[in-house]
Amino acid sequence: GTKKIGLLPADGIGKEVMPCVVKVLEALKAPFEYVNLDAGFECFERTGTALPDATVEAAKKCDGLLFGAVSSPSHKVEGYSSPIVAIRKKLDLYANVRPVVSSPVPGSLPGIDALIIRENTECLYVKDETIEDTPTGKRAVAKRVITEAASKRIAKLAYQMALKRASLHNRQGKVTIVHKSNVLSVTDGLFRESCLAVAEASELHSIKTEEQLVDSMVYRLFRDPQNFDVIVAPNMYGDIVSDGAAAVVGGLGLVPSANVGDEFIMCEPVHGSAPDIVGQQKANPIAMIRCGAMLLEHMGMGKESVAIEEAIQEAMHAGTLTPDLGGTATTTEVADFIAKRAVEI
Ligand code: NAI
Ligand code: MG
């Protein structure tokens, strides 16, 4: 039957790339009904909240969501907090899944096909911070929460994905656990032990496990990114490692992500609202269009998902690219090319 998809374009280029993915999905006649939902910084300025209750209620009634990008100020604005962090929490989207794959564009290294799985609910991003005055100046403290339950839940997803990739794509099947338990032996130690406990499950013995301290993880990601399959990390390490990974495959304009819960998925590009290029038709729509492909795959429409990726590859080979990839095409031209070719494939 028809699935209900909530669209949250939010701010900046989010509003420019959202129509692009809808255009491609509509061209493919995906059995979706779309609902526009309000969120973001502009929404905050208009309504006093970045994530209205009505949006959360409507989102819960959807089968899946597409999120554009939000403009979060780097200084504290009274009453504002990021809607993307809130919506992940409200819908219990406990995993952030990022495929990092080589592309035929300048700036991408060849042979990379990794999947980063980041814990999405705890670690330092519980945002429990305090500050106090002391005789020698201010002292700020942040709480870092790691639980066995959340660590095992994320590890299970990582190992399941490694199994699936091994059977579908004929891969070696490997999970790299990222931590820093040599220094943070209690918190990262618990994350590490929880992941290793999951790896012990008998059906997972065909999957290889390796561990990587987060600093050398970054080093190896830049030195030999081809060597990774599935990577699993606590929230903040995962955040940092996955933005770094975007750099070796052609940049932020290409990389999608999915926030996954047991019942629900919300796909969003890794990039932000890009205020420096907004309104100039320079935004690369490929990351957002790939979010549409991830949504289709999740909903069991693998064929359409593959057609989108093949059309994207053709756009790259044809050089129909936005300025971030050295091209001269506009946002709309790239989206039109992909929509047209995806249908023909
Ligand atoms: P950004 O990702 O918006 O931009 C970084 C650089 O990459 C800029 O030069 C931008 O022009 C370029 N870029 C990003 N996406 C592109 C695309 N699709 N096509 C072509 N070029 C692209 O990150 P920045 O500048 O750090 O943050 C800008 C705003 O976005 C801030 O308010 C930040 O809070 C927000 N942000 C939101 C995120 C989200 O919605 N999940 C994630 C990251 C940042
Ligand atoms: Mg980030």
pLDDT at 89: 85
Q: Find out whether the beta carbon of 75 lies less than 6 Å from any atom of ligand 1.
A: no
**Is there an atom of ligand 1 within 6 Å of 83 CB?**
no
Q: Which residues of the chain have pLDDT under 50?
A: none
- Mutation pick for ligand 1 pocket among 18, 44, 271, 321 (CB with most ligand atoms within 8 Å): 271
Residues 6+ away with beta carbon under 8 Å from 17: 9, 68, 69, 269, 283, 284, 285, 287, 288, 289, 331
pLDDT (0 to 100) of residue 160: 94
pLDDT score recorded for residue 156: 96
Q: How far is the CA of 195 from the centre of ligand 2 (A)?
A: 23
Give the pairing type, strands 256-260 and 265-269: antiparallel
Q: Running DSSP on this structure, what letter comes out for residue 2?
A: P
ipTM of the complex: 0.97
The per-residue pLDDT for 42 is 96
pLDDT tens digit sequence for 116-127: 999 999 999 988
Q: Which domains are present in the chain?
A: 1-108+249-345 (3.40.718.10), 119-233 (3.40.50)
Residue nearest to atom 42 of ligand 1 (CA): 272
Q: Is residue 272 in contact with ligand 1, taking CB distance under 6 Å?
A: yes
Contact status, residue 249 vs residue 255, Cβ threshold 8 Å: yes
For the Cβ of 212 lying below 6 angstroms from any atom of ligand 1, the answer is: no
Say what the pLDDT of residue 170 is: 72
Alpha carbon nearest to ligand 1 atom 34, residue: 72
> Pseudo-torsion of CA 252, 17, 298, 86, nearest 10°?
80
Token pair 């506009």: residue: 330
The DSSP string of 63-107 is SEEEEEE----SS--TT---HHHHHHHHTT--EEEEEEE--SSTT
Ligand 1 pocket, residue 11 CB under 6 Å: no
Tokens standing for residue 17: 């790339």
Q: Report the C-alpha gap between 24 and 107 in whole angstroms.
A: 26
Q: For the segment 80-110, what is each residue's pLDDT rounded down to a tens digit?
A: 988 998 898 899 999 999 999 999 998 899 9
Residue nearest to atom 4 of ligand 1 (CA): 274
Q: Which ligand is nearest to the CA of 20?
A: 1
- In angstroms, rounded to a whole number, what is the distance separating the alpha carbons of residues 115 and 162? 9
d(CA 142, CA 165): 37
**Whether the CB of 70 sits within 6 Å of ligand 1:** yes
- In this structure, the dihedral spanned by the alpha carbons of residues 58, 60, 62 and 66, taken in order and rounded to 10 degrees, is 90
| pLDDT at position 48 | 96
Strands 208-213 and 256-260: unpaired
Alpha-carbon span 12 to 75, nearest angstrom: 18
DSSP conformation class of 229: S
Q: What is the pLDDT of residue 76?
A: 83
What are φ and ψ of residue 133, in 5° steps? -85, 140
The residue whose CB lies within 8 Å of the most ligand 1 atoms, and thus the one to mutate among 105, 252, 266, is: 252
Any ligand 1 atom below 6 A from CB of 266: no
CA of 282 to the centre of ligand 1 (A): 13
Element housing 133 (H / E): strand 129-134
State the distance from the centre of ligand 1 to the C-alpha of 271, rounded, in angstroms. Answer: 5
Q: Bridge-partner residues for 123, per DSSP?
A: 145
Angle at 116 between CA 115 and CA 120, to 5 degrees: 140
